[in-house]
Amino acid sequence: MPWLLLLPLGLMLLLALWLILFPWSLWQRYHRGKATRRVWPWQVRLNLGLLWVGLVVFLLLSAVFQIWWPHQLSQAVLGLGAGIGLGALGVATIRFEWREAGLFHTPNPWLVLLLTLLVAGRILLGLVQIFQQGLAWSRDQVLAGDLHAGLTGLAGLLLGYALASTWGVHRRLRRLRR
């Protein structure tokens, strides 16, 4: 019998730990996201190649999941478009500087804050949707609508932002090498 109590207690402990660490992890995401970093050309090339692979996989999976969720591909493409626009804005506002050690860049802290808040908002919205779905199941109801609405769009936005900003840094590196 005492072993059966350990499972709910362990789950409650994990939930409490997550509630404590979630704000800290958001702060770390923002703090590290706006930090000045050195630009390593091989890392930029590798990141760009892997982002292209990720983009192809993301679009293929969105097309396949279109079978079950009717607007999956359109959400993915809209999110990608918004992310590419934000990434272009981010590249235009990145501060580059030469130091003795090499090229460094500092991202726009407002864009980093915006993306961090978008991720946090989507996580909280997902928790609300899980709670609503649980209430509906307890009453033997099925919620109408798309419970994952926006999740694919946000994934596309983040992927598009990363792709556009990495592409911009790559282009800047190529220009500086000439």
User: Could you report the per-residue pLDDT of 98-128, keeping only the tens digit for each?
Assistant: 888 888 889 989 999 999 999 898 888 888 8
Question: 145 pLDDT exceeds 60?
Answer: no
Distance in angstroms (rounded) separating the CA atoms of residues 166 and 46: 10
Taking phi over 0 as left and psi of -120 to 50 as alpha, with beta for the rest, 143 belongs to beta
Which residues is 104 bridged to in the sheet?
A: 38, 97
Percent of the chain with pLDDT over 70: 93
Beta strands in the chain (DSSP E): 37-38, 95-99, 102-106
Stated pTM of the model = 0.81
First to last CA, the chain: 72
Question: 96 pLDDT exceeds 60?
Answer: yes
Which of the four pLDDT bands, split at 50, 70 and 90, describes residue 52? Answer: very high
Packing angle, helices 151-177 and 109-138, rounded to 10? 160
